[in-house]
Structure 1
């Protein structure tokens, strides 16, 4: 049975073999949000996604690969904000879920509001038409009892 260090070394070797067999077009197929899709890389290498973050050598190799792909133009360049935040942990936003739910609710209410306004216009035009018909029948003396 292999220990953790041996497994980490195997993962790194598997990554290097996988990297050598890929073309720029292959890398373009797994781009997600400006970087290589970690899930797809982990599947291809045969390791868990956590190994890509927890194995320092593998993490550095992946970052170096992405940097070289950026230089070639396969991956988009990092923005200034992204460059400032490289290596920093992402700040947790505890209001993100509430904001998303509020946004969805507002969108649904706006759609319902538009539908109701259209229905009101339709009913007002019908009311106007039937009001004129009622007035005409009344003047002619054909009022129903």
Structure 2
């Protein structure tokens, strides 16, 4: 059984062999959202998609290939926004999931609060009607048991 380093080297070699057999038309067939389709590359070199992002040599090779294809006009040029995202990377927000949960809980509590306020208003109206009825009966001398 091969260890991780050997698998990583085998994946890089498989990518280089695959890259050598491709033509401009085959690259055009696997373009997805302005980049080469990572799923198709993974199938072609018989590795998992995670290897394409976790293996730095393989990731650099794919990025280098895409840059070369952009220069040749096969891939569309990167937009300014895409250049900024790739250069800066996405910052992971540790509190995003907590904020999302709290936001959902807050909206549920606000909904419940509105429902309870309307119920309280309705019950106060009923109480005022029954208070008037009770006072009227009391004045007439009929006391409920």
> TM-score when scaled to structure 1?
0.62
Partner Cα distance (1:50, 1:20) in 2: 22
| Aligned-residue CA RMSD (Å) | 1.8
Matched with 1:10 is 10
Offset at 1:89? 2.1
Please list every run of at least 4 consecutive aligned residues from structure 1 whose deviation after the TM superposition is greater than 4 angstroms.
90-95
Matched, 1:69 2:69: yes
Partner Cα distance (2:91, 2:13) in 1: 29
Matched, 1:89 2:94: no
The 1:4/1:90 distance shift into structure 2, 3 A limit, reads same
The 1:55/1:72 distance shift into structure 2, 3 A limit, reads same
Offset at 1:74? 0.4
Offset at 1:11? 0.1
Q: How many residues align?
A: 95
The 1:39/1:82 distance shift into structure 2, 3 A limit, reads same
What per-residue deviation string (whole Å, max 9, x for no partner) do you get for residues 112-144 of structure 1?
xxxxxxxxxxxxxxxxxxxxxxxxxxxxxxxxx
Partner Cα distance (2:37, 2:85) in 1: 19
Q: State which structure, 1 or 2, has the greater radius of gyration over its C-alpha atoms.
A: 2
Partner Cα distance (2:13, 2:62) in 1: 12
Unaligned 5+ residue runs, structure 2?
101-145
